[in-house]
Amino acid sequence: MTTRDDDNVTYLCDMEHLCSPEGQKFLDMKYSGRLEHLKNYFGERLTEIRLLDVGIGYGMFLKALEELGVRDLHGMDPFVKSIEISSRNTSATLVEGDITCENWPVEKSSFDAITCLDVVEHLERPAAFFKKAKEHLREGGIVIVTTPNGQLPYRMRSIPLIGFKDRNPTHVNVHPPKYWRRLALENGYEILIEWKGEYLTHIRLIPKVLMLLCRLLRLDHRRIPVVNSFEQSYGMVLRPL
């Protein structure tokens, strides 16, 4: 059974790793904040929403939503084999489609939420996602976008013996948060929430020291300026104006 899509170079893990205890711990850490923002916005309506995940990977986020009781789930991805693997992990409706295409293969003005998780950094023109997503939201719908946090610690990854090299060659648009804020505002969204999260990373030793200090002082490292620049991910909850 295929557990990896070799054509999908944006994805570095295979299903065997993701299903291992280590992989599950990684996914729990990765998705917890994203799921929490959906819960907070929709409240008791969460299980009734219609959601589209753009760039599904192997369907693990859709699976996490199913486990919360969300049923009207849809996913779009350009990689046929990734869709095939994802269909073993989720019962969501999955279609082949590319963000940059003029017409997405899903109904316009029909979704309460559109998620695009760790995808926009792979696009040469990431504005394309923000423009097209608006066309497919219902009134009051939201977009959740996450992308690598491209602040100074990320740029230090290439320094030998100091940084952890970014192994993904398709990260062609990694930027600091101010870039993504501007892009969202320029494309007609209001930013409801923005956050930095997942885990401290990018370079060796310093994040571990900072994490230890935060724990000793009982501080949330995600909310401390400078410290949170080491967070792996930057995210936004957006609503069209």
What is the crossing angle of helices 127-135 and 177-186, to 10°? 40
For the chain, the first-to-last Cα distance in angstroms comes to 46
Is residue 53 domain-resident?
Answer: yes
Q: Which two tokens stand for residue 124?
A: 């040469």
Full domain range(s) for residue 143: 15-240
Is residue 10 domain-resident?
Answer: no
Do residues 175 and 181 lie in contact, with contact meaning Cβ atoms separated by under 8 Å? no
| Three-state secondary structure string covering the chain | CCCCCCCCCCCCCCHHHHCCHHHHHHHHHHHHHHHHHHHHHHHHHHHHCEEEEECCCCCHHHHHHHHCCCCEEEEEECCHHHHHHHCCCCCCEEEECCCCCCCCCCCCCCEEEEEEECCHHHCCCCHHHHHHHHHCEEEEEEEEEEEECCCHHHHHHHCCCCECCCCCCCCCCCCCHHHHHHHHHHCCEEEEEEEEEEEECCECCHHHHHHHHHHHCCCCHHHCCCHHHHEEEEEEEEEEC
Is residue 37 domain-resident?
Answer: yes
Pick from 118, 181, 167, 115: nearest CA to 144 = 115
Residue 80 belongs to domain with CATH number: 3.40.50.150
Residue type, 219: L
The mean predicted confidence, pLDDT, of the chain is 90
Taking the CB of residue 159, how many other CB atoms lie within 10 A of it?
Answer: 11
The mean per-residue pLDDT over the stretch 216-241 comes to 87
Is residue 9 domain-resident?
Answer: no
Is residue 7 domain-resident?
Answer: no
pLDDT tens, 38-91?
999 999 999 999 999 999 999 999 999 999 999 999 999 999 999 999 999 999
Is residue 1 domain-resident?
Answer: no
pLDDT of residue 119: 95
Domains held by the chain: number: 1
Is residue 40 domain-resident?
Answer: yes
pLDDT tens, 98-157?
999 989 999 999 999 999 999 999 999 999 999 999 999 999 999 999 999 998 888 888
